[in-house]
Chain A
Amino acid sequence: DGGITQSPKYLFRKEGQNVTLSCEQNLNHDAMYWYRQDPGQGLRLIYYSQIVNDFQKGDIAEGYSVSREKKESFPLTVTSAQKNPTAFYLCASSKSLWEDLNTEAFFGQGTRLTVV
Chain B
Amino acid sequence: AQKVTQAQTEISVVEKEDVTLDCVYETRDTTYYLFWYKQPPSGELVFLIRRNSFDEQNEISGRYSWNFQKSTSSFNFTITASQVVDSAVYFCALSEAAGANSKLTFGKGITLSVRP
Q: Note all chain A residues with C-beta closer than 8 A to B45.
A: 90, 92, 105, 107
For B31, the closest partner residue in chain A by CB is A101
Which chain A residues in 29-64 approach chain B with CB under 8 Å? Answer: 33, 35, 40-45, 48, 50, 54, 56, 58
CA distance A43 to B46 in the complex (A): 14
Q: Known pairs A101-B31, A101-B32, A107-B37. 14 more at Cβ < 8 A? A: A35-B106, A42-B6, A42-B109, A43-B109, A45-B103, A56-B103, A92-B45, A98-B100, A98-B102, A104-B35, A104-B50, A105-B45, A109-B43, A112-B43
Residues of B within 8 A of A94 (CB): 104
The closest CB in chain A to the CB of B45 belongs to A107
A30 to chain B, nearest CB (A): 11
- A96-113 contacts to B, CB under 8 A, are 97-110, 112
Q: Which residues of A contact B (CB under 8 A)?
A: 33, 35, 40-45, 48, 50, 54, 56, 58, 88, 90, 92, 94, 97-110, 112
A42 contacts which chain B residues (CB < 8 A)? 6, 91, 106-109
Task: Mark each residue of chain B from 1 to 38: 1 if its CB lies under 8 Å from any CB of chain A, else 0.
Answer: 00000100100000000000000000000011101010
CA distance A112 to B37 in the complex (A): 20
Contact assessment for A88 and B98 in the assembled complex, using a CB-CB cutoff below 8 Å:
no
CB pair A101 B47 closer than 8 Å: no
Contact of A101 among B33, B108, B109 (CB under 8 A): B33
Distance of A98 Cα from B99 Cα, bound (Å): 4
Tell me, rounded to whole Å, the shortest Cβ–Cβ distance linking B21 to chain A: 13
Cβ A33 vs Cβ B103 within 8 A: yes
Asked if residues B52 and A102 are in contact (CB atoms below 8 Å), the reply is yes
22 interchain pairs (CB within 8 A)?
A33-B103, A43-B106, A45-B104, A45-B106, A48-B103, A54-B100, A56-B100, A97-B95, A97-B104, A102-B50, A102-B52, A104-B35, A104-B50, A105-B47, A105-B93, A106-B47, A107-B37, A107-B44, A107-B45, A110-B43, A110-B44, A112-B43
